[in-house]
Amino acid sequence: MARTSSTMLALGTTLPTFRLDRVSGGMFASTEFEQQPILLMVLCAHCPFVKHIEPEVTRLENDFGSRVQFVGLSSNSLITHPQDGPAQLAEQAQRHGWTFPYLLDDQQVLAKSLQAACTPEFYLFSQNNKSSTPTLQYRGQLDSSRPGNDQPLDGSDLRAALNAVLTGAPVSQNQLAAVGCNVKWNPGHEPEWFGQTS
């Protein structure tokens, strides 16, 4: 496990287009998003940092899921980490009662578009008006809680961003990088920023 921080994709970046398999079967495409904010969450089944925040992901979906489109994304290599396969991800979602689309990015195209570096990592997109393309308003950590650091697991950073977007208020530019396990890239296909974070 390599402790890794977000690359912090530039705010204002346009939501990437994608069409990926759901871990529960079927497909999900970015064209299916409705006129509401979109939260992309880079997750997986085995990472201890993800396991630590799973209860707060459940609470967030319960609190915001009717007003924000949640999407889980697992981009870890199934070549090196078969424990993050569709069956394990579906079991994880079922265990925690997650109803949002959970997608398998096994070719890692979306992860690279987001410059994702770690699990967990969060990207909040929203539209300035109903005709515009969603753009990145927040990226980084859920909150300051990490396994063993005794900080409250309350989603405070992400909740503040969600509330700002939903009320039309400016999202704070003081955004902190997520920290977790590095994304497990397919061998020979590591992105240029791989290994540059600590």
Region 118-141 average pLDDT: 90
Residue 190 has a pLDDT of 85
Residue 198 has a pLDDT of 36
Residue 195 has a pLDDT of 62
Give pLDDT tens digits for 44-59. Answer: 999 999 999 999 999 9
Residue 35 has a pLDDT of 85
Give pLDDT tens digits for 65-121. Answer: 999 999 999 999 999 999 999 999 999 999 999 999 999 999 999 999 999 999 999
Is the CATH number 3.30.450.20 carried by domain 3-182?
no
Alpha-carbon gap, residue 25 to 38, rounded angstroms: 21
pTM of this structure: 0.94
Q: Give burial (CB, 10 Å; 0-12/13-18/19+) of 153.
A: middle
Q: What residues pair up with 71 in beta bridges, in sequence order?
A: 40
Give pLDDT tens digits for 142-188. Answer: 999 999 899 999 999 999 999 999 999 999 999 999 999 999 999 88
Q: How is the chain split into domains, by residue range?
A: 3-182
- DSSP state at residue 179: E
pLDDT for residue 3 is more than 90: no
CB 119, CB 49: distance < 8 Å: yes
Residue 2 has a pLDDT of 66
Give pLDDT tens digits for 10-36. Answer: 999 999 999 999 999 999 999 898 889
